[in-house]
Amino acid sequence: MNEDELSDEEWDALLAEYKRTIWPLVEVRRLAEAIDRLREWVETDNRIGARSFLLHEISSFLMVSGRDDEALAVIHERIDFAPDDPMNWCGLAGWHFYGHGFYDANEETLKAALAAIETAVAKARVHGEWHCHCLNDRCRIAVAMKRYDLLEETLREILAMPARPDVPDTQLEDDFLRRVPEGAIDRDLLARYRAALAAQEARRAKRRSVT
Q: Is the dihedral of CA 134, 158, 154, 84 positive or negative?
A: positive
Q: Is the pLDDT of residue 128 over 60?
A: yes
Torsion-angle region of 167 (φ positive above 0: left; ψ -120 to 50: alpha; else: beta) = beta
Give SS3 for 119. Answer: helix
At residue 2, the pLDDT reads 37
How much is the pTM?
A: 0.84
In this predicted structure, what is the pLDDT of residue 3? 46
Pairwise pLDDT comparison (81 vs 17), residue with the higher score = 17
**Number of Cβ atoms within 10 Å of the Cβ of 58:** 24
Q: For residue 165, what pLDDT band results from cuts at 50, 70 and 90?
A: low
At 101 the pLDDT is 80
At 176 the pLDDT is 96
* Rounded Cα distance, 176 and 103, in Å: 10
Per-residue pLDDT reduced to its tens digit, 45-71: 888 888 888 998 999 999 999 999 999
Q: Kindly list the domain boundaries of the chain, sorted by start residue.
A: 1-82, 111-211
Nearest to 159, CA basis, from 136, 180, 185: 136
Distance CA 170, CA 62 (A): 28
Using the predicted structure, report yes or no on whether residue 8 has a pLDDT greater than 90: no
Mean of all residue pLDDT scores within the chain:
89
